[in-house]
Amino acid sequence: MCGIAGLIHRGKSSDVGSEMTSMLTALKHRGPDSTGFAVYGEPNAGDYIMRLKVAEQEDMASGYDMQDKIDARVAMVEKRLAEHKASIKAKDAATPYAMRYVITHDGDTEAMARYIEDIEGTEILSLGNSLELIKDLGDANVVADNYGLRDFKGTHSIGHTRMATESDVDIRSAHPYWAFPYNDVSVVHNGQITNYWLKRRQMEHKGHRFMSSCDSELLAVYTADNLANGATLEDSLKASIEEIDGVFTYLVATRDELGMAKDTMAAKPLVLYESDDMIAMASEEVAIRAILPQEIDTTDPYDEEIRVWKA
């Protein structure tokens, strides 16, 4: 089933961390397996924020030397950052396996990202100037508390509660997906993509990387491919209606935009609320009401509908 949510505060920063936590808590019944947040803070010119994991949560219970392995992987990550002349300005670890780095880097970030992901068990969850992508097993409150997300201030955010259907319950199959290697682009999806393998092979031939066997990852890769070819977010969303088969509603966030697309069957829900200073959307109205308890007007987008908002 899965639940998706999106939130924009137009032209100002707000408590998107705690608001998205409330929205995803209200959507918990749509998927309790894992929860993910893509939150956008004020753009940090020059500095990159890199979120990565060096192991899965379930790995922590296996073997006697997992912590040693993790320490070695973290050391290797930092060594490879240094090799790419990236200097670390800040380093945090919310959990033993999830790291957050603030780095300065002038070179080829894609090459650096590929080099780091070459380390065993390592996946870069996000890399960008304003995006921070957090995903882990458990419901929204657990993840928000573990990662200290409630205090996060930002302009917009997308989020996801997952009920695993296409792939395993682990962090690599959790949403949102970062559109590697595109800075600050993230995707959440509710649905099933039926031409996944066909499109995945096409994307792999073009050199794109897939970290999981979750069909939703395709949408992130597909979006990244379109953006790399010069398409706007709106073009990419429009093209996906024709090119991606299946039933889906998905949201894409970039540094300054948030877009949605709904398939030709309109089989997956989304409820929209728009006002001058705020836009909220979610699989169910109950999530919007979690942050806007007053009486509001909401609508359902129709089949093949594409919307893009400026954040």
Partner 1 sequence: MESMSVMASDMGYDPRAGKTRDEIEGTTQEDRARDLGMMSEQLKNRSMEVFFEVGEEENLIYPYADKVDFNKRTELDCEGKPTTQVNKDIRALMEEGYGTIVLKNPRGMHSVGVGILNKLNLIIEGSIGYFGVGLIDGPNVRIKGRVGWSCAENMMSGTVLIEKNAGSTFGAAMRGGDLVCRGSVGSRTGIDQKGGTIIVGGDTGAFSGFMMQRGRMIVCGNAGKNLGDSMYDGTIYVGGEVQDYGVDAVQAEMTDLDKAWLTRKLTQYDLLPEKGVDHFTKIVAGKMLWNYDNLEPNEKKLIL
Active site residues: 2
Cβ contact 125:53 at 8 Å: yes
Residue 206 makes CB contacts below 8 A (sequence gap 6+) with: 225
Within residues 142-201, the interface with partner 1 by CB under 8 A covers: none
Cβ contact 101:90 at 8 Å: yes
By CB under 8 A, tell whether 300 contacts partner 1.
yes
Among 288, 306, 308, 311, binds partner 1 (CB under 8 A): 288
Helix (H, G, I), strand (E, B) or coil at 263: coil
Cβ contact 183:47 at 8 Å: no
- From 134-142, 170-178, 235-243, 295-303, span contacting partner 1 (CB under 8 A): 295-303
In the chain, count H helices and then E strands: 8, 15
Please state the three-class secondary structure of 278-300 as a single string: EEEEECCHHHHHHHCCCCCCCEC
Question: What are the DSSP calls for 221-232, one per residue?
Answer: HHHHHHHHTT--
By CB under 8 A, tell whether 286 contacts partner 1.
yes
Within residues 264-283, the interface with partner 1 by CB under 8 A covers: 264-267, 269, 271
250, two tokens: 């998905």
- From 12-20, 35-43, 96-104, 291-299, span contacting partner 1 (CB under 8 A): 291-299
CB nearer to partner 1: pick between 73 and 262? 262
Within residues 237-266, the interface with partner 1 by CB under 8 A covers: 264-266
Terminal C-alpha separation, the chain: 27
Please state the closest distance from residue 261 (CB atom) to partner 1, in A. 15
Please state the closest distance from residue 292 (CB atom) to partner 1, in A. 9
By CB under 8 A, tell whether 289 contacts partner 1.
yes
Among 285, 307, 308, 311, binds partner 1 (CB under 8 A): 285
CB nearer to partner 1: pick between 224 and 279? 279
By CB under 8 A, tell whether 41 contacts partner 1.
no
By CB under 8 A, tell whether 284 contacts partner 1.
yes
